[in-house]
């Protein structure tokens, strides 16, 4: 894939498992203070000379750091695996999400892809999309998602596992998420009842992982679970913004902690993350567009329960993502996710 040009910016308008991982990379573009210019030095008069009449120094012009992201809209693939071995990044890709930051850095689009979506896997024929990860790891999953959306260019892949998600939640000291379907969940291993009846719901410790993993008991099952994953991203964005506002100096350490819990494919350093945090303070929860790759319903393939992809509408979604402008798609199809 040909590298795209990085560019300098001078304005402030512009970062479920892996969905929150993007709050450590792409979602960080939604928070952070502007860089402050250094004060203009003043000359010290010679002890034998008459001091000149002081004149007002011109106000320095603030400059923003260079935008480390590629030129134009930037797209990342988020993968959440069910591995319980810290740092292994193996297992099943149970969370699959595309996140795209618009070229003007004013909009973040989150698109969930249900793990049971029946798609064409390059070089392997038809299958559930999460099988692409099991067959060929990150490269094959990246190629499969790209093909699903008509050749979408994917700039970064971000992966996280169970332990990574829990650690990220704790690093943020919890976060609030919109909660369309209030529930209570009993943890099988301990019998503890977790109360998810509030809206928004506060998620801390292991509760965040329980929230984004729940499928049973939700009206639309896996579809509602994918919606919860996107809600967690939006909540994480807001929490990072709170931290950046209260203590900007905490950002480098926070991002370093995030990066240590993630596997990032693509050129994005800790310094890049801090620069991104300084570029935009204007991305709010309302600037996050949340939707799902459309399906027409459910079916079976070879005895497997699958989700049937809406081919025509998915093509339209791919057109919008490749153009870097999701609004025409939303205007035509909305953001609902239940067929």
DSSP 206-254: THHHHHHH--TTSTTTHHHHHHHHHHHHHHHHHHHHHHHHH-GGGHHHH
Distance in angstroms (rounded) separating the CA atoms of residues 161 and 88: 8
Each residue of 237-273: pLDDT tens digit? 788 878 878 887 887 777 777 666 777 777 766 566 6
Q: Provide the domain count of the chain.
A: 1
Domain that holds residue 271: 6-33+68-173+220-333
Distance in angstroms (rounded) separating the CA atoms of residues 303 and 132: 19
The answer as to whether 178 is a domain residue is no
pLDDT confidence bin for 14, thresholds 50/70/90: very low
The answer as to whether 326 is a domain residue is yes
**Pair of tokens at residue 249:** 């100096």
In this structure, what DSSP letter does residue 54 have? P
The answer as to whether 47 is a domain residue is no
* Residue-level pLDDT at 283: 64
The answer as to whether 182 is a domain residue is no
* Residue-level pLDDT at 275: 55
The answer as to whether 181 is a domain residue is no
* Residue-level pLDDT at 196: 96
Q: Is the pLDDT of residue 51 over 60?
A: no
- Residue 319: C-alpha distances to residues 117, 294, 312 (Å): 19, 14, 11
Chain mean pLDDT for the chain: 77
The answer as to whether 49 is a domain residue is no
Q: Alpha helices, DSSP H only, in 13-130?
A: 18-22
Across 181-190, 196-205, 279-288, the highest mean pLDDT is recorded for 196-205
The answer as to whether 41 is a domain residue is no
Q: Alpha helices, DSSP H only, in the chain?
A: 18-22, 131-148, 162-171, 207-213, 222-246, 251-259, 270-277, 311-323, 327-333
* Partner residues linked to 137 by β-bridges: none
Question: What CATH number did the domain enclosing 129 receive?
Answer: 3.40.630.190
- Kindly state the average pLDDT of the residues 54-58: 43
Each residue of 187-235: pLDDT tens digit? 888 899 999 999 999 999 999 999 998 999 999 999 999 999 899 988 8
Each residue of 120-170: pLDDT tens digit? 999 999 999 999 998 898 999 999 999 999 999 999 888 877 777 888 899
The answer as to whether 40 is a domain residue is no
């Amino acid at each position: 894939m040909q590298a795209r040009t990085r560019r300098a910016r001078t304005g402030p308008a512009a970062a479920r498992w892996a969905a929150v991982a993007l709050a450590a990379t792409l979602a960080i573009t939604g928070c952070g203070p502007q860089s402050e210019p250094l004060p203009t030095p003043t000359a010290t008069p010679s002890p034998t000379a008459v001091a000149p009449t002081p004149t007002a120094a011109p106000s320095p012009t603030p400059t923003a750091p260079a935008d480390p992201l590629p030129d134009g809209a930037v797209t990342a693939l988020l993968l959440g695996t069910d591995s319980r071995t810290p740092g292994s990044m193996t297992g099943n890709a149970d969370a699959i999400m595309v996140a795209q930051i618009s070229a003007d850095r004013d909009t973040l689009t989150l698109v969930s892809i249900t793990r049971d979506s029946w798609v064409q896997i390059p070089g392997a024929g038809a299958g559930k999309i999460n099988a692409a990860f099991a067959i060929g790891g990150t490269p094959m999953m990246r190629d499969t998602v790209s093909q699903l959306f008509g050749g979408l260019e994917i700039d970064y892949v971000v992966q996280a596992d169970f332990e990574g998600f829990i650690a990220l939640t704790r690093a943020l000291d919890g976060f609030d998420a919109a909660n369309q379907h209030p529930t209570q969940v009993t943890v099988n291993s301990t019998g503890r009842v977790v109360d998810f009846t509030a809206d928004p719901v506060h998620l801390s410790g292991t509760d965040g992982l329980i929230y984004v993993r729940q499928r049973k008991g939700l009206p639309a099952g896996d579809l509602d679970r994918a919606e919860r994953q996107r809600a967690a991203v939006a909540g994480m964005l807001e929490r990072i913004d709170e931290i950046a506002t209260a203590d900007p100096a905490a950002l480098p350490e926070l991002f370093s902690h995030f990066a240590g819990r993630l596997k990032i494919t693509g050129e994005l350093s800790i310094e890049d993350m801090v620069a991104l945090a300084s570029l935009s303070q204007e991305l709010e929860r309302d600037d996050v567009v949340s939707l799902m790759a459309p399906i027409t319903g459910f079916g079976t393939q070879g005895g497997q329960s699958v989700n049937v992809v809406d081919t025509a509408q998915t093509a339209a979604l791919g057109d919008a993502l490749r153009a870097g402008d999701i609004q025409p798609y939303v205007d035509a199809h909305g953001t609902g996710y239940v067929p």
